[in-house]
Structure 1
């Protein structure tokens, strides 16, 4: 990398090179540190309990006991527990937490939070690369994209024992693989994402279509074929395993509907929710959720207008549209938008062209607002996230 790209010249003193190499991690951890610090002020001695609440309790229980050993007093959204209930959670994150737990003396809480932190840093490097690779991108745009990702409204989940940080790391690196046409990287990361969250359908779709485009353009030989096929293995493998376990081809989808209340309805429930909030809503969380939902469509349109690379747009659309099109816990929809990080690309590239002071002020304001809202979501809001 040349000095024009923002990297120190070869032969320069080592500290600038070290700072350059650590910048993505520093930016991400700095923003998230603000969020955790504000949460600590609001939660007090319950900080760790809040960081391992809601879905985190299920994920840590699966990491400790496996699917068959989850305690019977852990109930689904309707107050039930069946042998199939835990299967609604994908295995990638709990398996990784269990593995890291071997290094933490069996302390799975520490392991879960370490996995989330390390995955967030991995995502930061991928996001910085995406910011450099898009048209009009730069190192500054990449770092701003990383900062904005760490400061989204529900970015508190990136510091919790949740799947979001790990999924976003794998998804972002898969997209880096697509942009660089490194199909093995793209396929492997998409396959890994398919073991972490159902949102992996967006990654699989983006990687698969990009690989198909490369095949049709006769680029890359057999590698796009391999990457595209590999991308499907994680998601289809887990859904197939649940189907075999439950004896129903749509086993995982049945668990989601009957146990957790999630199912495709074309957006009817979301529109009813928006209408209710806009006409009679009184709760801040609901108001921010509506802004986030509407904002996601605005940002998707902006990404299209500004000609963000089409695989990124496809990925963003396949994250956002199912959030709109599913019935379920409306309070969780803001969290489900966290993986739509590609929609922040136009903001990051626009800020990168502004004065440094303006960019820093915007990021600082976003980080502080996100920090307070994350604390509010965990310590004041009484419902699930």
Structure 2
């Protein structure tokens, strides 16, 4: 438990010593990438703007942002389904802390799904439901997911040009 954050702390210190300022990592995140914890202000701005069809906020990309909004709207349901499975408290804490961190941070909103990928406990209940499906249904589900995933990968790389 104590060793886990040592890699991050070492990296932050290394960047700070290399730049001559121990807060250099956080300065880079804020000023270079516009990526910092803002207590959800940016998330609320994106949700409000997307709801009325406007895209005049920082890092506005209509398709990825719409997908991000759909994911954010699904989060309460996924959290409720996860809690119904009664997972260990450590998984609940990890999930809620991760969701709060992602939604409370100013970032490219279209990356919300990518930042939530490590929050696997949200998918425990849907995975249990999928386990009850027969092979033909699973083939349709995963085939559709693969096609949608491939389309989105193409869109991000070739349409948006964002690596």
1:237 partnered with 2:10? yes
Corresponding residue for residue 275 of structure 1: 48
* Structure 1: segments with no counterpart, 5+ residues: 1-227
Kindly indicate whether residue 135 of structure 2 is the aligned counterpart of residue 362 of structure 1.
no
User: Which contiguous aligned blocks of 4+ residues in structure 1 show a shift greater than 6 angstroms?
Assistant: none
The correspondence for 1:337, drawn from 113, 116, 122, is 116
CA contact (8 A) 2:29 2:35 kept: yes
Aligned to 2:87: 308
Residues 156-195 of structure 1 correspond to what in structure 2 (within 5 A)? none
Alignment of 1:69-148 (within 5 A): none
Corresponding residue for 2:58? none
3-state SS of the aligned residue for 2:118?
coil
Equivalent residue, structure 1, for 2:35: 262
- CA RMSD of superposed structures (Å): 2.1
Aligned mates of 1:357, 1:313 — CA distance in 2: 33
**Distance in 1, Cα, partners of 2:33 & 2:72:** 21
1:172 aligns to what? none
Separation in structure 1 between the aligned mates of residue 89 and residue 135 of structure 2, nearest angstrom: 29
Could you tell me whether the CA contact under 8 Å between 1:281 and 1:287 is conserved in 2? Answer: no
How big is each residue's C-alpha offset from its partner over 1:177-230, in whole Å with a ceiling of 9 and x where there is no partner? xxxxxxxxxxxxxxxxxxxxxxxxxxxxxxxxxxxxxxxxxxxxxxxxxxx222
TM-score by length of 1: 0.38
Provide the C-alpha distance between the structure 1 equivalents of 2:64 and 2:92, rounded to a whole number of angstroms.
27
User: In the aligned structure 1, how far is the partner of 2:122 from the partner of 2:152?
Assistant: 20
Alignment length, in residue pairs? 157
Match of 1:125 in 2: none
1:16-95 equivalence runs, <5 A: none
Q: CA deviation at 1:281?
A: 4.5
- The Cα shift of 1:300 comes to 2.5
Q: 1:249 to 1:302 in 2, by over 3 A?
A: farther
Whole-angstrom distance in 1 between the partners of 2:76 and 2:14: 34
Query: Structure 1 pair 371/310, CA: closer, same or farther in 2 (3 Å)?
Result: farther
The unaligned stretches of length 5 or more in structure 2 are: 56-61
TM-score where L is the length of structure 2: 0.82
Q: Distance in 2 between matches of 1:346 and 1:289?
A: 21
Q: Is the 8 A contact 1:285 1:381 kept in 2?
A: no
Counterparts of 2:119 and 2:76, CA distance in 1:
11
Aligned-pair CA distance for 1:314: 2.6
Using the alignment, how far apart are the partners of 1:352 and 1:331 within structure 2? 29
Deviation at 1:265, TM superposition (A): 0.8
Query: Is the CA contact (8 Å cut-off) linking 2:64 and 2:109 kept in structure 1?
Result: no
Q: Residues of 1 paired with 2:12 and 2:139: CA distance?
A: 43
Max Rg structure:
1
Distance in 2 (alpha carbons) for counterparts of 1:297 and 1:281: 24
**1:348-359 to 2 correspondence within 5 Å?**
348-359=127-138
1:351 Cα deviation after fit: 1.1
